[in-house]
Each structure stands twice: as structure tokens, then as C-alpha cells.
């Protein structure tokens, strides 16, 4: 039985929503795949405390796509915290989400835990960067609660994952990022999106956790772009008051539309 202070989070990543309800990414209607993933997650919402939306919320960065996502997330009845990805336009995202159920905070008190959410969006680039302002947010947020176990959230993976094509789109200043992480031993995990695949690694005792997309999946450790037949899903995290983390991946049973594995990019 989890401790009553344990916080349960759902990570929903890379939905790539379009303004067009039938908009598809490599043949998959992204609103439909998201719906199926959220229906799967609904069985866990009774014990969930909040949702992390870890970037690439929209494929076309339109107000209509963000408003749709806000309307759908409102039905979850949970606090939803979002960060932008490389396909998002942060300003448009913020304007479209204001006043709705999805916010874009920089820090969240999550029971005994400290959540820090960073914007790694780099205009004109598929890769990511943490500007000086974002690095300052990280430093100040971690220093504010040195006694609290911390979870750091960003869109781009901060280290290569072994897929050369995807590793060209990592965070471009990881040394600056990890210099701050290393000064704050209370950081327990770094959670990211972008990679469209399950990933679990570790660096100096800090867990590195990537999540599947709610639409198409990338084949792990592929030298070139390739799709994985693994189905869409989400990551769940249990944050215990003593700093321990339990986490796992849940996936829908099948794609709603036939999956074409011959795609060479998107």
C-alpha cells in the first residue's frame, strides 16, 4: 500500500495534435491515438495526482490544436503541466492554453517533491537548448527546496541514446545542465519526451526516463529514422516521500489505423 504522501504522475508525451480532427502523422490520426491512450490511462486516474505533458503537443502549432488538447485534458479532472517541444511555438502555446486546465509552470510543489519544468525549445531547430534564463530557473528552483527530492522535466533528451539520427537532436548544452544537476544531490530523476520510445538509464545516481509518444514510435538504437511497431502509450511515476521512484510504461493493445513501417521521416 503506497504511503499517503506518495504522488502518482502520468507522463503524456509527443501527441502531435493537428487543428484538423483527421490530421495524421505517417498515417496515424493523432487525435485518435491520443484518445485511445487517455482511455487506457483512465483506469489509473483514480489514484493519479497530476499529468505531465512533455512537449510536441501540436504538430502544426495552431490555436485550434492547443484548444482541442485543453478541452480533452479538462475531462481528466487533474492538474496538467506542460512544456513546449520543438514542434510547438511556445508563445502561441501559452496564449492558447491560458485560463484552461493546462498550465506551464516552472516549478510545482508536488507533496514532498519538487518538480522543475524547463523549456528547451530552440527556434528553428529540431534539437534543444537551455537558455541562461532556463538554467537560472533550474538553479533557483532546486536551491529553494534543498531538502525535497526533485524531478526535473524537459522535452529534449540531455544525453545520446544510441540512435545517431535522433542523437543529432539532443540538448546542445548538456554540460551546463548537468553542472547544476550535480550541485544538487536531491535530484532523483530527469524526465523527457522527444524520443518517441521507452528509455530508462542512469547518470551519477539520477534516473533518466524517456517515454513513448501517444502516436508513432521510433525504433530504438536505429542508425537512421525508422518506426517501431510498438504501440502508443504513456509513462506512470510514483514519487515516494523518501525519494524513491517507481515507474513503468503502459501501451494500448493496437494502433487504430494500419501502421506503415516504411516511413523515412516526418
pLDDT digits (tens, 9 = 90+) for 50-89: 999 999 999 999 999 999 999 999 999 999 999 999 999 9
User: What is residue 168's DSSP assignment?
Assistant: T
Q: What is the pLDDT of residues 33-49, one digit of tens each?
A: 999 999 999 887 677 89
Q: What is the pLDDT of residues 15-27, one digit of tens each?
A: 999 999 999 999 9
Q: Count the alpha carbons within 13 Å of 209 in the hemisphere toward its beta carbon.
A: 25
d(CA 153, CA 254): 28
Report whether pLDDT(114) > 60. yes
In this prediction, residue 33 carries a pLDDT of 98
d(CA 213, CA 56): 10
**Total count of residues recorded for the chain:** 266
In this prediction, residue 2 carries a pLDDT of 63
H or E segment and range at residue 108: strand 107-110
In this prediction, residue 43 carries a pLDDT of 81
Residue whose C-alpha cell is 525549445: 121
First to last CA, the chain: 44
In this prediction, residue 263 carries a pLDDT of 78
Q: Does domain 8-251 have CATH number 3.40.50.300?
A: no
Mean pLDDT of all residues belonging to the chain: 96
Q: 194: closest CA among 91, 255, 125? A: 125
Burial tier of 205 (Cβ tally within 10 Å: 0-12, 13-18, 19+): exposed
In this prediction, residue 249 carries a pLDDT of 96
- Secondary structure (3-state) at 80: strand
Q: Which residues contact 164 (CB under 8 A, 6 or more apart)?
A: 223, 224
The proportion of the chain whose per-residue pLDDT surpasses 70, expressed as a percent, equals 98
Q: 194: closest CA among 220, 215, 221, 213? A: 213
d(CA 236, CA 243): 16
Q: What is the pLDDT of residues 228-265, one digit of tens each?
A: 999 999 999 999 999 999 999 999 999 999 998 887 77
d(CA 48, CA 82): 16
H or E segment and range at residue 231: none
Chain center to CA of 83: 8
Distances in whole angstroms, Cα of residue 4 to Cα of each of 90, 238, 248: 35, 11, 20
Q: For strand 24-25 and strand 245-251, is the pairing parallel, antiparallel, or unpaired? A: unpaired
pTM of the predicted protein model: 0.96
Amino acid at each position: 500500500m503506497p504511503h499517503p504522501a506518495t504522488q502518482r504522475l502520468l507522463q503524456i508525451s509527443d501527441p502531435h495534435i493537428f487543428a484538423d480532427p483527421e490530421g495524421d502523422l505517417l498515417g496515424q490520426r493523432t487525435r485518435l491515438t491520443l484518445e485511445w491512450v487517455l482511455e487506457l490511462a483512465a483506469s489509473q486516474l483514480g489514484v493519479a495526482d497530476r499529468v505531465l505533458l512533455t512537449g510536441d503537443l501540436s504538430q502544426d502549432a495552431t490555436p485550434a490544436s492547443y484548444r482541442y488538447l485543453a478541452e480533452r485534458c479538462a475531462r481528466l479532472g487533474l492538474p496538467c503541466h506542460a512544456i513546449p517541444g520543438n514542434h510547438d511555438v511556445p508563445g502561441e502555446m501559452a496564449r492558447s492554453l491560458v485560463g484552461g486546465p493546462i498550465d506551464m509552470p516552472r516549478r510545482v510543489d508536488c507533496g514532498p517533491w519538487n518538480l522543475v519544468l524547463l523549456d528547451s525549445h530552440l527556434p528553428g531547430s529540431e534539437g534543444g537548448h537551455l537558455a541562461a534564463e532556463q538554467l537560472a530557473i533550474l538553479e533557483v528552483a532546486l536551491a529553494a527546496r534543498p531538502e525535497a527530492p526533485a524531478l526535473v522535466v524537459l522535452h529534449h533528451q540531455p544525453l545520446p541514446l544510441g540512435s545517431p539520427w535522433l542523437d543529432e537532436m539532443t540538448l546542445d548544452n548538456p554540460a551546463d545542465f548537468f553542472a547544476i544537476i550535480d550541485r544538487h544531490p536531491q535530484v532523483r530523476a530527469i524526465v523527457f519526451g522527444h524520443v518517441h520510445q521507452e528509455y530508462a538509464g542512469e547518470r551519477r545516481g539520477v534516473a533518466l526516463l524517456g517515454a513513448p509518444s501517444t502516436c508513432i514510435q521510433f525504433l530504438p538504437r536505429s542508425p537512421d529514422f525508422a518506426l517501431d511497431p510498438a504501440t502508443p502509450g504513456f509513462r506512470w511515476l510514483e514519487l515516494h516521500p523518501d525519494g524513491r521512484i517507481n515507474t513503468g510504461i503502459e501501451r494500448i493493445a493496437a494502433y487504430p489505423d494500419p501502421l506503415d513501417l516504411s516511413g523515412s521521416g516526418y
